[in-house]
Chain A
Amino acid sequence: MMTLADKIVEIYPELNGTNFIKIGIIVQNDSDGKGDYIKNWSHPDFPQPTKEQLDAIK
């Protein structure tokens, strides 16, 4: 099963192999059963993916 970080790379292949936190993207999991979510997105070139874009990737 793909993680949220994997889905982001599917949408933006340019991010493959990058360290997300170093480029302003924080995918977080609070271990509360609610799963991964985007805590912060401040990438200078790519806009934050929409829920529809993420949900479309299985």
Chain B
Amino acid sequence: MASIITATTTSGLTHSADNSGVLQLASGTGNLVTVPSVTGTAMVSGNMPAFRATKSSSQTISNNTLTKVTFDTETFDTANCFASSTFTPNVAGYYQVNYSYSAQSLTTGRNYAMSGYIFKNSNIYTTFEHNITSAADQYGNTYVALVYCNGSTDNIEVYFYQNNSSSGTVLLAGSSSTTQFSAVLVRGA
């Protein structure tokens, strides 16, 4: 039977390095994991939030109106941090945020300016604009950002904006593989 070290008080169990400062875990001959000399929370997959959400129906985006994109289908949400189309992670750290849109019902030959936005705490965090003359009825793009979140109140949302030469609407596609929003913790605080 494996040896188990169990804490006997309510204060938990602390392993401390000696004066050398080296603390290692051995999992086999020559297999050593060195615990770095830093403070913080060790990241393992069980406490690294990750989610992905998609749309089950299309969303109409009016001309000249910066509109929050809604997502009603979760592919996964490992820490239950995604609700009301908003990601509020419960572990402090640096998150890679991915946002892809597929704009549809475009009119061939019409000029469009289209921008995806990643918001942090209701403020613009990342955006850039694409100007196109539509050659087809749809157009898509992907946005990526690295965002620090404090693990309690910081939250992330995504928006979409379009301006076109005829003031018409654009549809953001609703399916499990087109317009999508995801994030994952890549480094603890």
Contacts and interface: CB of A to CB of B under 8 A. Distances in A.
A18 to B, nearest CB: 8
Given A3-B62, A3-B63, A31-B85, A17 B69 contact: no
Contacts of B180: none
Interface in A7-37: 9, 17-21, 25-32, 36
Nearest to A16: B167
A5 to B, nearest CB: 4
A29 B161 contact: no
A21 B65 CA distance: 9
Contact of B65 (A5, A9, A18, A32): A5
Interface string B146-177: 00000000000001010101010000000000
A20 B64 CA distance: 6
A36 B63 CA distance: 12
Contacts of A19: 64, 113, 163
Nearest to A5: B64
B163 A29 contact: no
Interface residues of A, number: 20
Contacts of A20: 64, 163
Nearest to B162: A19
Interface in B4-46: none
Given A17-B165, A19-B163, A21-B161, A5 B69 contact: no
B67 interface: yes
Contacts of A6: 63, 167
A26 B67 CA distance: 10
B66 A5 contact: no
B62 A5 contact: yes
Interface of B: 62-70, 85, 113, 115, 159, 161, 163, 165, 167
Given A21-B115, A29-B68, 15 more contacts: A3-B65, A4-B65, A5-B63, A5-B65, A9-B167, A17-B165, A18-B163, A19-B64, A26-B66, A28-B65, A29-B62, A29-B66, A31-B85, A32-B68, A36-B65
26 contacts: A3-B62, A3-B63, A3-B65, A4-B65, A5-B63, A9-B167, A18-B163, A19-B64, A19-B113, A20-B64, A20-B163, A21-B64, A21-B66, A21-B115, A21-B163, A27-B65, A27-B66, A28-B65, A29-B62, A29-B68, A31-B67, A31-B68, A31-B69, A31-B70, A36-B62, A36-B65
